[in-house]
């Protein structure tokens, strides 16, 4: 399908040096089986899953070890066959600690998920497919980790007419989705077709940044068979932001505080689509994912197929360790990822990358005053006023910040990237959002 599709240009954005050349030509490698996996028990947004195995239990690869803790929750499965070990605490990628279950591998790596393959999904009931996706524990693998089956159950009055596949991968350095689209092209497209069947839509766009010509070519070759339109997009961060992507592909803008389904769209990450296909066609739950291990200090940067529960330390060992002193270890990309203080963090369903940066490459923040240059205002994809709002937050004037729509900030980091005074703007906004949310909760508690 080579028909040019009209695209729209969102406000602002930046084009950072993308660093993708480090790893985008390296085929993804399957990581060797480890002796022990530490599977974190909170890998999705929403209710934490409840563990259903005890120490000493024997589990098969893909067997359920924690069931969903509610509708907005996703179950967790054993990454390999073996015995259940201790329940330990691991550092979470975005702070704090989370409980985790150790799985000690027996080396046989035997499947036993108990999920029957549904190769003939075209003639299968939508509800069965949706249930399968929920059972397979699939979440948004781009970063937010929102359970996929919830996304695929929009209220009928929303009138969903478009399924958007997010293959933009606008974060610099990350190439996991790129490799995935190149190597598992049909899996992505078939998963998208399954999702489209569940949603009853026939308009499927795949938004992909133009810096992945090989993936675009591969996708285009096969997309027609699945009814997917591949739309190359400008290379501009944050092209893969949900609201920006919808706007770029359909010209619809999601209202502040609204959701994509308000404008008739559902956005799925390409990784989630491949996982949907695996869950339905193969009966395999989500136990591994494409993760980029990259950065200039890494000896062999590349994309790895890592099982959930692999620690960052092990993943870095696969990649040969570091050749230069790394100042930062980041889970995710350089724009929105989280800096880590320990290597004990584990790979979860939304770990798109492990990025190491040298000191000279990272940002050093200062407490310099805002010089009102207005670059952040020009660059903000949400059309906010980052500079002035950060000054309001600095003087703890959260009401004023709220009136200036700080809650619409999606923390994409564009403002901070362009700030010549190197002010930690995103941190200010996170602080403001946390304070305002706390205030709202307090107000709500008072009302109740």
Partner 1 sequence: MLITILVSAGVVAAVGLVLGALIGFTAKKFEVETDPKIEAVQELLPGANCGGCGYAGCADFASAIVTKDTDPSGCSACSDAMLAKIAEVTGKAAGKKEKMTAVVFCSGSFSRSTQAADYNGILDCRSASIVAGAGGKACRFGCLGYGSCARACPFGAIEIRDGLAVVHPELCRACGKCVNVCPRKLIRLVPASAKIHVYCNSLEKPAKRRKLCKNPCLACKKCIRTDENHMQMQAGLVRVNYSNPPEPGFVEQVKCPTGALQLEEMHRKIEALKPAAPAPKKEESK
Partner 2 sequence: MDTNELLMLTVGAILVNNVVLSRILGICPFLGVSKRIETALGMSGAVIFVMTLASFVTALFNRFLVTATFTINGQTVSLAFTRILLFIVVIAALVQIVEILLKKFSPSLYVSLGIYLPLITTNCAVLGAAELNADASRGLISSTVFGLSTGVGFGLALLLFASIRERLAISRIPKAMQGTAIALVTAGILAMAFMGFSGLVK
Partner 3 sequence: MSEEIEKKTVVLPEPGSLVLSTSPHVQDGDSISKIMLKVLVCLLPAVIASIWFFRFNAVRILVYCGAFSVFAEYAWSLAIRRKPTVGDFSALVTGVILALNLPPGAPWWLCMVGSVFAIIVVKELFGGLGQNPFNPAAAARVALLVGFAGPMTQWAAPVTGELVSGATPLGAVQLAKGSKEAMAILGSPENLKALFLGNVGGSIGETSALAILIGGFGLLCFRLIKWQIPLAMIATIFVFSGIVHLAAPELTPGPVYHILSGGVMIGAFFMATDMVTSPMTALGGLVFGALIGVLTCVIRIWGAYPEGVSFSIVIANALVPLIDRLCYIRPFGWHSHSASALQIRRGEIK
93: partner contacted, choices partner 1, partner 3, partner 2, none (Cβ within 5-8 A by kind): partner 1
Strand order in the sheet with 265-269: 228-233, 203-209, 162-167, 265-269
CB of 109 or CB of 411, closer to partner 3:
411
* Stretch 388-407 residues interacting with partner 2 (CB under 8 A): 391-392, 394-395, 397
Span of 56-64, 140-148, 205-213, 397-405 interacting with partner 3 by CB under 8 A: 397-405
Q: In the complex, what is the shortest distance from the CB of residue 99 to partner 1, in angstroms, rounded to a whole number? A: 14
Residue 137 or 413 with smaller CB distance to partner 1 = 413
Q: Which stretch binds partner 1 (CB under 8 A): 1-9, 308-316, 380-388, 422-430?
A: 422-430
Contact 333, 239 (CB under 8 A): no
Encoding tokens for residue 200? 């009853």
Stretch that binds partner 1, among 95-103, 109-117, 165-173, 245-253 (CB under 8 A): 95-103
3-state secondary structure 400-422: HHHHCCHHHCCCCCHHHHHCCCC
**Smallest gap from residue 324 Cβ to partner 1 (A):** 17
What values do phi and psi take at 398, rounded to 5? -70, -30
Partner whose binding site includes residue 285, from partner 2, partner 1, partner 3, none (CB under 5 to 8 Å by kind): none
Q: What is the DSSP letter of 309?
A: T
Q: Does 256 sit near partner 1 (CB under 8 A)?
A: no
DSSP state of 227: T
Give me the DSSP letters along 115-156: PPP-TTGGGS-HHHHHHHHHHTT-B-TTTT--BHHHHT---G
Q: If you ran DSSP here, which 8-state letter would residue 368 be given?
A: P
Q: What's the CA gap between 363 and 358, in Å, rounded?
A: 10
- For residues 18 and 209, what is the distance between their CA atoms, to the nearest angstrom? 12
Whole-number minimum distance, CB 339 to partner 1, in Å? 7
Chain positions 118 to 147 lying near partner 1, rule: CB under 8 A, are none
Q: Work out which of 70, 107, 119, 369 binds partner 2, going by CB under 8 A.
A: 369
State yes or no: residue 70 binds partner 2 (CB under 8 A): no
**430 binding partner 1? (CB under 8 A):** yes
Is 365 among the residues that bind partner 1 (CB under 8 A)? yes
Nearest in space to 238 (alpha carbons), one of 353, 379, 354, 424 = 379
Smallest distance, partner 1 to C-beta of residue 92, A:
8
Q: Alpha helix locations (H) across 347-397?
A: 375-379, 386-394
Q: In what order do the strands lie in the sheet with 58-59?
A: 36-40, 97-105, 82-91, 58-59
Closest CB 402 distance from partner 2, rounded Å: 16
Residue 297 interacting partner from partner 1, partner 3, partner 2, none (CB closer than 5 to 8 Å by kind): partner 3
Question: Of 155, 364, 444, 448, which one interacts with partner 1 (CB under 8 A)?
Answer: 364
Residues between 253 and 272 with contacts to partner 3, criterion CB under 8 A: 253-258, 262
User: If binding is defined by CB under 8 A, does position 164 make contact with partner 3?
Assistant: no
Distance of CA 61 to the CA centre of its chain: 24
* Residue with Cβ nearer partner 3 (217 or 373): 373
For 75, which DSSP code? -
Q: Establish how many alpha carbons lie within 13 A of residue 241's alpha carbon, considering only the half-sphere containing its beta carbon.
A: 27
Site for partner 3 in 112-151 (CB under 8 A): none
Number of residues located near partner 1, criterion CB under 8 A? 22
Which positions from 234 through 273 interact with partner 2, judged by CB under 8 A?
A: none
Under the binding rule (CB under 8 A), the answer on residue 338 touching partner 3 is yes
Q: Judged by CB under 8 A, does residue 192 bind partner 2?
A: no
The side-by-side arrangement of strands in the sheet containing 353-357 is 29-30, 302-307, 288-294, 353-357, 328-331, 338-340
Q: Which residues contribute to the site for partner 1 (CB under 8 A)?
A: 91-97, 338-342, 364-365, 367, 424, 427-428, 430-431, 434-435
């Amino acid at each position: 399908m080579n028909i040019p599709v009209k695209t729209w240009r969102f406000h602002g954005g930046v084009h950072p040096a993308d660093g993708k050349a480090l790893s985008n030509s390296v085929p993804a490698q399957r990581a060797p089986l480890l002796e022990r996996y530490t599977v974190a028990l909170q890998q999705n947004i929403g209710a934490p899953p409840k563990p259903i195995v005890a120490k000493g239990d024997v589990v098969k690869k893909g067997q359920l070890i924690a069931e969903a803790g509610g509708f907005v929750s996703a179950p967790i499965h054993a990454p390999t066959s073996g015995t259940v070990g201790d329940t330990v605490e691991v550092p979470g990628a975005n702070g704090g600690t989370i409980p985790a279950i150790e799985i000690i591998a027996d080396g046989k790596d035997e499947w036993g998920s108990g999920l029957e393959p549904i190769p003939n999904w075209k003639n299968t009931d939508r509800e069965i497919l949706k249930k399968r996706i929920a059972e397979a524990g699939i979440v948004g693998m781009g970063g937010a980790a929102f359970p996929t089956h919830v996304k695929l159950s929009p209220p009928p009055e929303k009138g969903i007419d478009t399924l958007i596949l997010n293959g933009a991968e606008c974060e610099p350095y990350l190439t996991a989705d790129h490799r995935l689209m190149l190597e598992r092209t049909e899996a992505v497209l078939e998963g998208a077709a399954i999702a489209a069947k569940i949603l009853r839509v026939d308009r499927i766009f795949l938004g992909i940044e133009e810096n992945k010509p090989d993936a675009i070519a591969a996708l285009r070759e096969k997309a027609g068979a699945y009814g997917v339109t591949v739309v190359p997009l400008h290379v501009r961060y944050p092209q893969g932001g949900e609201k920006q992507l919808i706007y770029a592909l359909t010209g619809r803008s999601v209202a502040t505080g609204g959701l994509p389904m308000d404008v008739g769209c559902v956005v799925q990450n390409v990784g989630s689509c491949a996982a949907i296909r695996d869950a339905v066609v193969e009966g395999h739950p989500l136990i591994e994912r494409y993760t980029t291990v990259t950065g200039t200090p890494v000896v062999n940067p590349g994309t790895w197929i890592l099982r959930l529960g692999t620690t960052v330390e092990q993943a870095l060992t696969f990649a040969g360790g570091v050749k230069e002193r790394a100042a930062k270890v980041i889970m995710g990309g350089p724009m929105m990822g989280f800096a880590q203080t320990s290597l004990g963090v584990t790979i979860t369903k939304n770990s798109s990358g492990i990025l190491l940066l040298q000191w000279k490459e990272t940002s050093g923040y200062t407490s310099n005053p805002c010089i009102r240059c207005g670059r952040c205002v020009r660059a903000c994809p949400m059309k906010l006023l980052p500079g002035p709002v950060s000054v309001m937050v600095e003087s703890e004037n959260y009401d004023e910040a709220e009136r200036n729509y700080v809650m619409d900030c999606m923390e994409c980091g564009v403002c901070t990237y362009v700030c010549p005074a190197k002010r930690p703007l995103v941190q200010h906004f996170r602080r403001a959002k946390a304070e305002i949310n706390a205030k709202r909760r307090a107000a709500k508690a008072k009302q109740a």
